[in-house]
Homo-oligomer: A and B are copies of this chain.
Amino acid sequence: MFVWNWGRVLLLFLLICSVELHESLWPLPEHYSSGDHALSVDPALKLSVAGNAAASPILIAAFDRYRRIVFKHSTYGFSFIRKLSERFLSAFDLDTFNITLLSDNDQLQLGLDESYTLLVPHPNHSSQLLIQANTVYGALRGLETFSQLCSFDYTTKTVKIYKAPWSIQDKPRFAYRGLLLDTSRHYLPVNVIKQIIESMSYAKLNVLHWHIIDEQSFPLEVPTYPNLWKGSYSKWERYTVEDAYEVVNFAKMRGINVMAEVDVPGHAESWGTGYPDLWPSPYCREPLDVSKNFTFDVISGILTDMRKIFPFELFHLGGDEVNTDCWSSTSHIKEWLQNHNMTTRDAYQYFVLKAQEIAVSKNWSPVNWEETFNTFPSKLHPKTIVHNWLGPGVCPKVVAKGFRCIYSNQGVWYLDHLDVPWDQVYTAEPLQGIHTSSQQELVIGGEVCMWGETADTSNVQQTIWPRAAAAAERLWSPRDSTSQNITLTVLPRLQNFRCLLNRRGVPAAPVTNYYARRAPIGPGSCYEQ
């Protein structure tokens, strides 16, 4: 029994600590200061918008979303609290949210200004919260931060902001903060993609890298080549053009870009279900047939159709894991190679560069997996962004050659590697080994990759969360913001953020399980698992 009692003492101690921690923010803002007042927030909080985007539908929708999140407990108590509020005019300390947008440009692109200032006043000075931002997307980031400052006080049954006044000046460290979703190995319904986009916005991630198609299935409708989605797993595991628009629009409303990927010439076997001519032969189906014009007509058709859907300036052309055996073993391709005096390696380069040309002609900056850079670095289009995955030390080489780089070292940022614990995800550093600021600027950011071989609707979210959040803070917050012992400065905040995700209905897994997405080992508080 004594052992048990010490456990309870420890629990109480942790609970006392977590009172302080509950106001913690994730990811940490660039600059912030706080005081020691507790302010109550009116459930009928009014929005007052100033500046050049007073009627921004994106802002108004976001404010409604966050009001529902912050005041979710107030549904039934609402009318009573309203009455109280009306009777005693200053029943709540904070009753208005003033948001000023300096620009009405709501174009969502790489390098977008996401900075914001959030002020929670001293109780004697004002009853108004304040956000000032250059763009509506900065305001959205500020609203997320605001929502994390709010907590429901179960004693008074009001929403409170502790440690006011708050002054927060914030902006992201990296422009590109991505999450890859793979809808080819397992189809993810649109509802599920939306749930994930919504949860990304809580961690201030801003790029959904949609790895739509791969060798296993081709779920997307391509009007120009309508047989392509015959390569879907079934007639119901498909995305219409309208579905894709809906995903892009849903993401935009949350300040998230969607970067589509068409991974060529490898990882494309499913294309041939609808158009078998794309296979080198019925018996050897990958990579796509490099010798036919039809292959590039289809790529061009796909990209033409996709350009209408995906406004983001980056487009991913894959280019990884190309095994050219089918090219050298299929007679008509072998002949074509000889006629063109090409090795299979030359043909790989030829294919990638031709796909790049098509993408660039559509005003896209091509993104390619690092094998393309590793194989023919000097040939890549200068606009190319190289996507690291194989291991550490790649981005330093990429930026030394003047290319831009995205960091996704699989040893730490591949979420399907279930044996990578949160702290290894957290301490990964995209700028490792890059020392000049001009080269550092070429690292546009990083991305955690949720490959779908063993992740479907049933478990994708708990494989993503909470580890994707660890990367999200690395990508948003200043490099030295948590240089102390991360078990003290980071872990309790990450556990807190995981519980926040759970409260918002996101099935984020326990933080400290060695293997990702494992069940909790026994009963306990969310804040300690």
User: Contact residues of A with B, CB < 8 Å?
Assistant: 1, 15, 18-19, 22, 72-77, 151-152, 154, 157, 184-187, 189-192, 195, 216-217, 221, 229, 233-238, 240, 242-243, 245-246, 283-284, 452-462, 499, 502-505, 507-510, 517, 519-527, 529
Q: Is the CB of A240 within 8 A of B504?
A: no
**A189 with B76: in contact, given A456-B529, A457-B508, A527-B234 (CB under 8 Å)?**
no
Instruction: Other than A1-B283, A157-B242, A458-B509, give 13 A-B pairs with Cβ distance below 8 A.
Output: A73-B240, A152-B236, A186-B523, A186-B524, A187-B526, A191-B505, A216-B523, A233-B524, A233-B526, A452-B523, A456-B519, A458-B507, A459-B462
Could you tell me the distance between the alpha carbons of A191 and B69 in the complex, rounded to whole angstroms? 10
- Chain B residues contacting A527 (CB-CB under 8 Å) are 233-234, 236-237
Of B157, B186, B236, B519, the residue contacting A459 (CB under 8 A) is B519
- Chain B residues contacting A72 (CB-CB under 8 Å) are 190-191
Q: Which residue of B lies closest to A455 (CB)?
A: B519
Q: Is the CB of B458 within 8 A of A234?
A: no
- Chain B residues contacting A245 (CB-CB under 8 Å) are 76
- Chain B residues contacting A459 (CB-CB under 8 Å) are 462, 507, 509, 517, 519
Q: Is the CB of B242 within 8 A of A519?
A: no
- Chain B residues contacting A460 (CB-CB under 8 Å) are 507
Of B229, B453, B507, the residue contacting A523 (CB under 8 A) is B453
Q: Is the CB of B234 within 8 A of A15?
A: yes
Q: Which residue of B lies closest to A416 (CB)?
A: B519
Could you tell me the distance between the alpha carbons of A502 and B193 in the complex, rounded to whole angstroms? 11
Could you tell me the distance between the alpha carbons of A151 and B503 in the complex, rounded to whole angstroms? 33
Q: Is the CB of A458 within 8 A of B502?
A: yes
Q: Is the CB of B524 within 8 A of A192?
A: no
Q: Which residue of B lies closest to A215 (CB)?
A: B523
- Chain B residues contacting A502 (CB-CB under 8 Å) are 189, 192, 456-458
Copies of this chain assembled into the complex: 2
Q: Is the CB of B189 within 8 A of A75?
A: no
Q: Is the CB of A240 within 8 A of B154?
A: yes
| 6 chain-A/chain-B pairs, Cβ below 8 angstroms | A1-B284, A154-B236, A186-B520, A186-B523, A237-B525, A456-B520
Q: Is the CB of A510 within 8 A of B15?
A: no
Of B189, B242, B453, the residue contacting A522 (CB under 8 A) is B453
Q: Is the CB of B15 within 8 A of A517?
A: no
Could you tell me the distance between the alpha carbons of A454 and B521 in the complex, rounded to whole angstroms? 6
Q: Is the CB of B525 within 8 A of A233?
A: yes
- Chain B residues contacting A185 (CB-CB under 8 Å) are 523
4 closest Cβ contacts across the A-B interface?
A233-B525, A76-B242, A185-B523, A191-B505
Q: Is the CB of B461 within 8 A of A189?
A: no
Q: Which residue of B lies closest to A519 (CB)?
A: B454
Q: Which residue of B lies closest to A192 (CB)?
A: B505
- Chain B residues contacting A456 (CB-CB under 8 Å) are 502, 510, 519-520, 526, 529
Q: Which residue of B lies closest to A506 (CB)?
A: B457
Q: Is the CB of A503 within 8 A of B189?
A: yes
Q: Is the CB of B195 within 8 A of A505?
A: yes
Could you tell me the distance between the alpha carbons of A195 and B502 in the complex, rounded to whole angstroms? 12
- Chain B residues contacting A246 (CB-CB under 8 Å) are 75-76
Q: Which residue of B lies closest to A69 (CB)?
A: B191
- Chain B residues contacting A77 (CB-CB under 8 Å) are 240, 242
Could you tell me the distance between the alpha carbons of A504 and B457 in the complex, rounded to whole angstroms? 10
Q: How far is the CB of A423 from chain B (nearest CB, A)?
A: 19
- Chain B residues contacting A19 (CB-CB under 8 Å) are 235
- Chain B residues contacting A184 (CB-CB under 8 Å) are 523
Q: Is the CB of B454 within 8 A of A505?
A: no
- Chain B residues contacting A525 (CB-CB under 8 Å) are 187, 217, 233-234, 237
Could you tell me the distance between the alpha carbons of A243 and B152 in the complex, rounded to whole angstroms? 12
Could you tell me the distance between the alpha carbons of A440 and B319 in the complex, rounded to whole angstroms? 65
**A75 with B242: in contact, given A457-B502, A503-B189, A526-B186 (CB under 8 Å)?**
yes
- Chain B residues contacting A507 (CB-CB under 8 Å) are 192, 457-461, 507
Q: How far is the CB of A272 from chain B (nearest CB, A)?
A: 11
Could you tell me the distance between the alpha carbons of A509 and B458 in the complex, rounded to whole angstroms? 5
Q: Is the CB of B236 within 8 A of A151?
A: yes
A237, A525, A529, most chain B CB atoms within 10 A: A525
Could you tell me the distance between the alpha carbons of A414 and B74 in the complex, rounded to whole angstroms? 35
Could you tell me the distance between the alpha carbons of A457 and B527 in the complex, rounded to whole angstroms? 12
Q: Is the CB of A242 within 8 A of B510?
A: no
Could you tell me the distance between the alpha carbons of A128 and B507 in the complex, rounded to whole angstroms? 41
- Chain B residues contacting A151 (CB-CB under 8 Å) are 236
Could you tell me the distance between the alpha carbons of A186 and B524 in the complex, rounded to whole angstroms? 6
Q: How far is the CB of A445 from chain B (nearest CB, A)?
A: 27
